[in-house]
Amino acid sequence: MTLLEIDGLRVAFPGRGFRAAPNEVLHGVSLSVAPGETLGLVGESGSGKTTIGRAVLGLVKPSGGAIRFEGREIGGLQGRARRGLSDDIQVVFQDPYSSLNPSLTIGDTLSEPLIIQGATRRDARARVRTLLDQVGLPSDAVERLPREFSGGQRQRVAIARALGPRPKLIVCDEPVSALDLTTQALVMDLLVDIQRQTGVAYLFVSHDLTVIRHISHRVAVLYRGDLVETGAAVDVTSKPEHPYTRTLLLAAPVADPAEQRRRRDERRATASAGVDR
Amino acid sequence: MAQPESERPLTRRIEPVTKSVTAPSTSSIAVARANGGATPRTPLWKKLLRDPQAVVTTGILVVIFALGLLTPLIAPHGPNESVLSMVNAPPGTPGYPLGADESGRDIFSRLLHSINTAAISAILGTGVALIVGITAGLIGGYFGRATRATTEWIFSLIMTFPGLLLLIILMPVTGGDYRATMLIFGVLLAPGIYRIVRNLVLGVKNELYVDAARVSGVGTLRILGRHVLTVVRGPIIIAAAFMVGSTIAVQSGLAFLGVGSLEIPSFGAMISSGFRNLYIAPTQFLWPSLLLGLITASLVLLGNSLRDAFEGSKPKPSKVGAGQRVAEIDAETLAVPPAVLLGVRGLAIAYPTPSGDLIEVVKGVDLDIARGEVLGLVGESGSGKSQTAFATLGVLPNEAVITGGSILFEGRELIGLSDAQMRPLRGKAIAYIPQEPMSNLDPSYRVGSQLVEGVRSALGISKKEAKSRVLALLERCGIADPARTFDSYPHQISGGMAQRVLIAGAVASRPKLLIADEPTTALDVTVQAEILDLLRDLQSELDMAVLIVTHNFGVVADLCDRIAVMRQGRIVETGLAAQIFGDPQHEYTRTLLGAILDESSYRTDPPVTAPTQGGQA
């Protein structure tokens, strides 16, 4: 059974200016996420990968197609009905600096969704302690403000906030892109651990194939609003079928001068052979 | 480049600072974090308590308005109680400490009652302005375009009314009651608050934490109250302090003009009557003027203190053109081999903390770049790698102090040079490529004219020559239609294109050293690969030395001959690229390389098939 099913999703933003034609950024994308699975969504800026995530979260209204969560259409839900989904679908954003309200303490940020769901203050406090422990933060973080934490720590707070209502799906929008290399590895390990423990599914959006490969069971490649390739992570990232996926793979520099030289030559050969991506 | 000044002594004074080029933002962020990150916040009231201006003005206002509240107890007479025998009684008359006015009313008592009139005016006027302005600002800022257009239109309309005139014209409607007048005045003041709130809300509503709250199921009203209003409250409080002053002034002004009921004691009415008696009893006019002046001045000064407390005091202006600030250095010049183009020795850079101490962010960096060599300066955020690069360019932020070391470019000492002395080097012998291409192009000028300007100042050639040169460079830098890009504005080109444009500008003068600060971090991988290709080709073509500052080991592997690994302001390891990647010596280098996600590792564990929903960790 699939947890999330996206079928022919289209999203258009209103054009700039009076009576301007709308600007369609997704041209009918279909994909699915199974319970407990990580689907990696990879693409470059402007490919619409973030928009898919925002549509699933209800932050963007689809102009066509369907988004089904546990078989129920959620694409056009508004207001109270949409808010009812908040204990099932959660989010971790890219920027650990702007995704936490600077004037609320970590405790307030973490307990807000719980209290909205109807938890008592006492239960919320206990749950917040468990969550902080789960993401590897000290429990005295409750009293502190976001600006007292580093980027990686803030991202842990954001993950804790997402875990709060025990969701079935977390949309991760480039959660490690803003982090240093060593922090990035730690946060990804944390995400994998949490998934193993709780069985939460991730829709993991990233521009970085290496990150995607490390965390995803399956990978979907987006290019300018269309899905060009989807399949098991091993297949897509080692023997890509679509030329664009191949370009993407060869473009990422590897941390090995000899291997990088080989890859660079291969990429330049491919490019000069006139292979259209 | 000549090196006439290479023998000058290295001991220097602290000089006032400046830089002519804006240093990119990452540095200041890193420093802000380093300085203020760990310190717990100071509550607002504590900041205010430390500000003598705030303490004194608040004290004055509290005393004055407390007197107002105590009026029924301490005023010897009613506000309109007139005694014929006391007309224009001089100050000091028993029972009339400040004398009496033209109608024989006690000036002291009337002053006390006037305080209450002023307070009520302030509460009504400011209250209405705040309620109307904040509500409309939240609605207009948070909701869709149509709502915003409507509120915008209404408030623009309100702003077109001539305030004072309208209040006078509406006298028949208000029946001369100053309270009704102040309610109307509050509406007229509301657009100011509306504008502040709307603009702040527009900025805040796209913040990710507002999105996160929506995803968490938080309702619109609660988001507005909890996430949006908390952020906008500071500027509102500041504006309110100023508005209280202006409502009191307007109420007094109207009363001075004689508009409204003459029964109401107010500063304006008292000043007016004092004016009429100026030649008979000159002091009558003095008391209300003094008190009114004291109140409004205190409010304005308090508003300024509040602004400082909320927004931090304004940075001190500094002298332009003096070069980077250098602390006294007694450095022994370390020998730099002649093959070295850029030799950095023991470079130390510090930033002042709020308490005035200096914190070193770069703690003695040694670097050598040979002619035509590509050096990668690698490190994580906050390691000081960008600071090192900026010091070489002479564009450290104003507050930065170079506390030690030397930077020799072709044997010439760069530390301590003024901007004027740096200018012949910057952009010519030493060029720079930034991390954010877009923010380094001026949005209001065409791309071409910006490049021509730079090329002309660097090479001193004619406009026409410069243009043909720029077009050739753009083509060389892989821009398909150079003429079209030349005539474009920065917003019309993509990020990758903008970076090509900046590279074209940087290499125009055939620099000997190119400093690239994370040149591809903001770009897509496919564009990054193209930009790296371009840099590599240009480097070998022009045989320039390149200093690449980056955190990406892939970029380093692609481009660099040598690598310097930086951590917490120190270089921990330097070596040939193959050495560092193949056989890293330092523990930290190994950690960094180990953190790189392996190319060949995939996620192997299957999805958890039976999700333990709601399961505890």
Distance between A8 CA and the closest CA of chain B, angstroms: 23
Residue B28: pLDDT band (50, 70, 90) is: very low
% of chain B exceeding 90 in pLDDT: 26
Indicate the residue of A104, A112, A264 with minimum beta-carbon distance to B216. Answer: A112
Residue A147 near chain B (CB below 8 Å):
yes
Q: Touching check for B146 and chain A: CB below 8 Å? A: no
Contact A112 B218 (CB under 8 A): yes
Identify residue B581 by its one-letter amino acid code.
Answer: F
- Which residues in chain A land under pLDDT 50? 275-277
Choices 1.10.560.10, 1.10.3720.10, 1.10.1740.10, 1.10.10.10: CATH for B47-69+106-311:
1.10.3720.10
Section B513-539 average pLDDT? 89
Give residues 4 to 33 of A whose Cβ lies within 8 Å of B. none
Q: From B606, which residue of chain A is nearest by alpha-carbon distance? A: A217
Q: Provide the pLDDT for residue B36.
A: 38
Percent of chain B as helix, strand, coil, to the nearest 5: 50, 10, 35
- DSSP 8-state assignment for residue B98: T
Report the pLDDT averaged over residues B80-85: 84
Mutate to test the interface with B, among A70, A111, A112, A193 (most CBs of B within 10 A): A112
The residue-averaged pLDDT of B193-202 equals 90
Mapped onto helix, strand or coil, the DSSP state of residue B539 is helix
Q: How far is CA A107 from CA A111, A154, B205, in A?
A: 6, 13, 22
A158 contacts in B (CB within 8 Å)? 212
Cβ pair B216:A253 closer than 8 A:
no
Check residue A259 and give its pLDDT: 87
Put simply, whether B596 touches A (Cβ < 8 Å) is yes
Closest CA to A167 of B303, B127, B53, B615: B615
> Chain A contact for B597, CB < 8 A?
yes
pLDDT value of position A147? 84
Q: Is A262 on the interface with B (CB under 8 A)?
A: no
pLDDT reported for residue B334: 55
Nearest alpha-carbon partner for A176 in A96, A61, A253: A96
| Cβ–Cβ gap A93/B218 under 8 Å | no
pLDDT at B307 over 70: yes
Q: Which residue of A has its CA nearest to B229?
A: A103
> Are the Cβ atoms of A192 and B577 closer than 8 angstroms?
no
Answer for the pair A241, A233: CB distance below 8 angstroms, yes or no: no
**A98 contact residues in B (CB cutoff 8 A):** 207-209
Give the C-alpha distances (Å, rounded to integers) separating B616 from A166, A197, B561: 9, 8, 51
- What percentage of chain B exceeds 70 in pLDDT? 87
Distance CA B384, CA B404 (A): 15
| Average pLDDT for B525-547 | 90
B 180-239: CB under 8 A from A? 207-209, 211-219, 222, 226-227, 230-231
Check if A138 contacts B (Cβ < 8 Å). Answer: no
Please write the tens of the pLDDT for every residue from B492-519.
Answer: 888 888 999 999 989 888 899 999 998 8
pLDDT at B184 over 70: yes
CA separation for the pair A209, A196 (Å, rounded): 22
* Amino acid B19: pLDDT: 33
Give the residue extent of every domain in chain B.
47-69+106-311, 366-396+412-595
A2 touches chain B (CB under 8 A): no
The reply to whether residue A116 touches residue B41, judged by beta carbons under 8 angstroms, is no
Q: Which residues of A touch B438 (CB under 8 A)?
A: none
Return d(Cα B189, Cα B158) in angstroms, integer: 9
| Residue A150 contacts residue A140 (beta carbons within 8 Å) | no
Contacts of B374 (CB under 8 A, 6+ apart): B539, B545, B546, B548, B559, B560, B561, B562
On chain A, the residues whose CB falls within 8 A of the CB of B386 are: none
Q: Binning pLDDT at 50, 70 and 90, where does residue B126 land?
A: very high
CA B225 from chain center: how many Å? 25
- Select the highest-mean-pLDDT range: A43-47, A236-240, B168-172, B537-541: B537-541
- CA of residue B131 relative to chain centroid, distance: 28
Tokens of B329: 């250095």
For an interface test with B, the pick among A163, A180, A216 (most B C-beta atoms closer than 10 Å) comes out as A180
Whether the per-residue pLDDT at B260 is higher than 90: the answer is no
State the DSSP code for B437.
Answer: T
Interface contact A70, partner B, CB < 8 A = no
B32 touches chain A (CB under 8 A): no
Window 380-419 of B: residues touching A by CB (8 A cutoff) are: 380-381
CB contact under 8 A, A253 and B610: no
Query: Which residues of chain A neighbour B217 with C-beta distances below 8 Å?
Result: 83-87, 113, 116-117
Three-state SS for A139? helix
CATH 3.30.70.2740 fits B366-396+412-595, yes or no: no
pLDDT confidence tier of residue B62, bands split at 50, 70 and 90: very high
Q: How confident is residue B312, by pLDDT bands cut at 50, 70 and 90? A: low
Q: Which two tokens stand for residue A48?
A: 């619409």
Q: Are A221 and A245 in contact (CB under 8 A)?
A: yes
Q: Which of A101, A129, A187, A219 to mutate to test binding with chain B, by most B CBs within 10 Å of its CB?
A: A101
Which of A82, A69, A137, A72 is closest to A106 using CA atoms? Answer: A137
Across the A:B interface, residue pairs with CB atoms under 8 Å apart total 213
In chain B, what is the straight-line distance between the N-terminal and C-terminal CA atoms, in Å?
Answer: 66
Task: Examine the pLDDT at B606 and tell me if it is beyond 90.
Answer: no
Average pLDDT, chain B: 82
ipTM of the complex: 0.87
What span, in angstroms and rounded, lies between the C-alpha atoms of A143 and A159? 18
Q: Which residues pair with A72 in a beta bridge?
A: A69
Read off the pLDDT of each residue in B259-272 and give the average, rounded to a whole number.
85
Largest CA distance in chain B: 106
Put simply, whether the predicted model's pTM sits higher than 0.80 gets the answer: no
A251 interaction partners in chain B (CB closer than 8 Å) = 525-526, 528-529
Cβ–Cβ contact A113 with B under 8 A: yes
CB contact under 8 A, B617 and A201: no
Q: For B486-512, give one letter per residue: b (16+ CB within 10 A) or e.
A: bebebeebeebbbbbbbbbbbbbbebb
Closest approach of chain A CAs to the CA of B553, in angstroms?
5
Domain residue limits, chain A: 4-241, 242-277
Spatial distance between the Cα atoms of B15 and B321, rounded to a whole number of angstroms = 11
Answer CATH for A4-241 from 3.30.360.10, 3.40.720.10, 3.40.50.300, 3.30.70.1400: 3.40.50.300
Task: Give residue B595's pLDDT.
Answer: 83
